[in-house]
Amino acid sequence: MTGTNWAGNVTWSARARHEPATLDELRRLVAGAERVRAVGTGHSFNRLGDTTGAQVSVAGLPPTVALDRDRGTVTVAGGLRYGDLATALYAEGYALANLASLPHISVAGAVATATHGSGPAHGNLATAVNALELVTADGDLLTVDRADPRFAGLVVHLGALGVVTRLTLDVVPAFEVRQYVRLGLPRAALDTALDAAYSVSAFTGWRSPRFDQVWLKQHADQPPPPADWLDTRAADTPHHPVPGMPAHNCTVQLGAPGPWHERLPHFRLGFTPSSGDELQSEWHLARSDAAAALAALDPVAGRIAAVLQVCELRTVAADGLWLSPNYERDTLAVHFTWVGDPAAVAPVLAEVEERLAPFAPRPHWGKLFDRDPAAAYPRHDDFRALLREFDPAGKFRTALLDRYFPRD
């Protein structure tokens, strides 16, 4: 079998790929496999999902979207993309509290890696999970919810505990959002800016002491930022975060009101997210360390800029999920969209990791990183115990999982 991840920087080692159409077919496949890994939309930049056995996609299972208005939840098929789920929810008058910057990713894959949106009051996408259903190593079907003491370890599972088929998510009433882009934010104003709207992202090319762009996503009934907001100026045309890329790929700006799912992401569902030809890394730091961490990177700003397309900074609220990069600390996420040249990026990535090391950075599990993150996760050993319980034979293990969560 040949195939690559979304970015094309990883060629899978899997011997076969399956897309079962029924739950029973999936259960038989998992039970009979020696090695198997679930694969989503492939928007990962490392080999965490690679396997020498078989890959299995749940995209072929029935596309469940079952709204429970009384409980304030929706149960969805794991292979569904967030953009498709959001469209269905909006039609019923409901919303998710948060969305990632691109709606192209699958629900199960995003949750498994604690992929996130932005906002000081909002947790990552996995924090919306109320319950999940998964096929375990022996082919059994298991459902767990927040009442299960293992739940906080099972939600962000890296594909290591089973194949997730359905998830139940918390929903809220649908809402309207306006999106504004401001230009030239002073570094000293970053902390204030990050608290200024429902969701905020600051973008820099590491070539200026000011942030190039700040994207403010706020409830439509809130007043727009004043003309002199934090010594910035208002963009009078739509912008793309990556210089030179078409703004048409991005969600609507300039303060035009629109549905939550058409404003909270940066990119539109029918268009290429980001630049397409890229590599990505992201580290999550305690928000209280933001100023010191950025200052630690300043001496290598020129090296970063030379291989960078754009760097995005955003906040994520603390949570209690064991392998979440936001576990028990409010977070500043520092995301790098690199050029698509692994050899040029690798030494700069290593330099960034070294300079961020004093701040106990937690990497996004689906991005490029090199240092062992175990020391930054207080519940690391507890998750290893779950691995022993759920997958004693290592059916779902990969080389990277063995590196970061060694067997006894």
Task: Write the CATH number for 276.
Answer: 3.30.70.2520
Q: Is 56 exposed, middle or buried (0-12, 13-18, 19+ CB in 10 A)?
A: buried
The closest of 35, 106, 4, 155 to 399, measured between CA atoms, is 35
Sign of dihedral through CA atoms 62, 63, 67, 73?
positive
Domain boundary among 341, 363, 385: 363
Looking at residue 2, what is its pLDDT? Answer: 66
Give the pLDDT confidence score for residue 324 in this predicted structure: 97
- Residue 160 sits in the same domain as residue 281: no
0.75 exceeded by the pTM?
yes
**How many domains does the chain contain in total?**
2
**Do residues 124 and 251 both lie within one domain?**
no
Asked if residue 4 belongs to a domain, the reply is: no
CA distances (Å), origin 104, targets 6, 171, 393: 11, 19, 33
Same domain, 104 and 216: no
Binned average pLDDT, 10 residues per bin, the chain of 408 residues: 77 88 97 93 83 92 97 97 96 96 92 92 97 97 97 97 98 98 98 97 96 98 97 97 94 98 93 78 97 97 98 97 97 97 97 97 95 92 97 94 91
pLDDT at residue number 387: 97
Chain centre distance of CA 359: 21
3-state secondary structure of 184: strand
Q: Under the phi-then-psi rule, with left for phi > 0, alpha for psi from -120 to 50, and beta for the rest, what region is 206?
A: left
pLDDT at 43: 78
Q: What is the CATH number of the domain that holds 134?
A: 3.30.465.10
Q: How far apart are CA 6 and CA 9, in angstroms?
A: 8
Do 193 and 339 sit in the same domain of this protein? yes
397 within domain boundaries:
no
Domain of residue 133, residue span: 65-173
Residue 157 included in any domain: yes
Domain boundary among 173, 204, 239: 173
Is residue 222 domain-shared with residue 320, that is, in the same domain? yes
Q: Are strands 54-56 and 36-38 parallel, antiparallel or unpaired?
A: parallel
**Res 117: pLDDT:** 83
Pairing of strands 73-77, 163-170: antiparallel
